[in-house]
Amino acid sequence: MEYKNKTFIIILPIILAGVLITGILIGNKLSVYNNNITYSKTNKLNSVIDYISDNYVDSISRDKIIEKVIPELLRELDPHSIYIPAQNMESVNEPLVGNFDGIGIQFNIQKDTVIVINTISGGPSEKVGIKAGDRIVNVNDTIIAGIKISNNEVVKKLRGERNSVVFVDIKRSSSSSLINYKIIRGKIPLSSVDVAYMIDDETGYIKISKFARTTYSEFIEAVEKLQPLGLNNIILDLRGNGGGFLDAATNIIDEFLDENKTIVYTQGNNSTKRIIKSTKRGICKNKKIVVLIDEWSASASEIVAGAIQDNDRGTIIGRRSFGKGLVQEPMVFRDGSGIRLTIARYYTPTGRCIQKPYSSGINNYEFDISHRFVNGELLEKDSIHFPDSLKYKTPKGKVVYGGGGIMPDYFIPLDTTYHTKYLTNIINHGLIYQFAFDFTDKNREQLNKFKEYNKILEYLNKQDINKLFINYAKDKGFVADINELKKSKKIILTYLKAYILRNLINDYGFYKMLNTVDKTIIEAKRVLKHN
């Protein structure tokens, strides 16, 4: 989702669409025509609201009408113009802002108990001594343990304004009594670069989950961290990245291109053409790059992939991206609500518009990924067809297509190698995650002796985790036959270890483990080696 950092404060307009006023006769009341009421055409929307408010048979809230009508009006325009109610504005903006105020923990609710998964490095909770595995019993003298409480309710109790105080009582396995903590809430960073590490002696793996205000600086920090370790190649993983701020994406692309290369341009009926070109900086100019995308890579992710592909700068690997090529601009109203209105389309350097069609209706648009699966597109490259009218060529003559996402240079089908009914059931019921959490919790004292990935993995490899999980799943009512276990064993064991590693050393352990069996990563390493 792209939008420029431009905010207007205006008075809330009165908007109503699709309302038809007809003259009727009810009892002895004359119709609107017989009353000879005439409204100005230029003020029709306001007038309809006024008329309903003044004359409707039942009492009706003017504000409620407006709140219902605005989303429907925007929905008629395109799939990405949206209305955001005031109460939702903070939660919608938070992932893109890059921080929030709170106590800095990751938690999970197990058996009506709030358990700390990890503390955020440098955050308020870590500073006062809260540890992974701690149970939160009370918050400000209110019991939250042993009652049915939702994640949202826990968040509301723990978050608050910066420098405000929250008191929590912790139950720790090593202590017979509750431990009391006074925590001063602080600024908690929300990272958009999930992980950055050397995947081999010369290749760095960087995973970006969204394009937030802090993404570019996080990316530069990641590159600078990997540089002394021999960084010559970069695998930039944008799979599942739905987009964000336009400038976060263009700034990252700028680091890979020579000066004065087109990165992207935007244009709309009421907005002039704006071309964004590369500058002199380019700290990654001499590094090979592979960009990973899939069907959930959208918007800013597609700008990155399109610019790299159209400038013949690197290789795109994965599956056809989402196809979101519309630019939104935010507008905020005095009551705190706002809209994000599509004001332009963006185009890749060769002139491709990546936006997929939406003329057949919003429902079809929203189910497009499902249709791709049904049509076999996620499994077979030959199932994807582009008309010749949408054909473009890069400076080196490579054929690329517009009109619905970025088509990768190397197609990687959805991996069904390990698929069984048993695997589907245990994933759908969250058993892998739950087992990994329980295993970590029960063995935390032993596991905390190891701080490095290799040491933890060495310990895990000595445990019969597969057998433990099979018995765990059996107790939950899920029994697999021998053939299913044989087919799914490797992927189940990999995910079990990955989640245990995440509980101990965050996303670094998680992705490093999963990437050992990820066919897209394996292909990326092959391409970098031979291209």
- Domain endpoint, select from 383, 414, 445: 414
> Could you tell me if 226 and 321 lie in one domain?
yes
- Does the residue 203 lie in any domain? yes
Residue of 520, 318, 522 lying closest to 407 (CA atoms): 318
Domain that residue 398 falls in: 193-414
Residue of 242, 235, 229 lying closest to 207 (CA atoms): 235
> Could you tell me if 177 and 247 lie in one domain?
no
Give pLDDT tens digits for 8-64.
433 333 333 333 333 333 333 333 444 445 545 457 888 888 888 888 899 888 888
Q: Give the residues of the chain that fall short of pLDDT 50.
A: 2-36, 39, 41
- Does the residue 114 lie in any domain? yes
- Domain endpoint, select from 43, 75, 107: 75
Tell me which long-range contacts 18-25 makes (C-beta under 8 A, separation of at least 24). 18/72, 19/48, 21/48, 21/51
CATH of the domain at 160: 2.30.42.10
- Does the residue 121 lie in any domain? yes
Number of domains in the chain: 4
> Could you tell me if 401 and 282 lie in one domain?
yes
HEC per residue, 309-326? HHCCCCEEEECCCCCCCE
- Does the residue 389 lie in any domain? yes
> Could you tell me if 308 and 370 lie in one domain?
yes
Write the DSSP assignment of 467-481 as a string of letters: HHHHHHHHHTT----
- Domain endpoint, select from 143, 166, 189: 189
- Does the residue 6 lie in any domain? no
pTM (2 decimals)?
A: 0.85
SS3 content of the chain, % helix, strand, coil (to 5): 35, 25, 40
pLDDT of the residue at 37: 52
pLDDT of the residue at 32: 42
> Could you tell me if 478 and 448 lie in one domain?
yes
Give pLDDT tens digits for 242-290.
999 999 999 999 999 999 999 999 999 998 999 999 998 889 999 999 9
Q: Which two tokens stand for residue 257?
A: 């291109």
> What is the DSSP pairing of strand 391-393 with strand 203-208?
unpaired
Q: Which two tokens stand for residue 48?
A: 């309809």
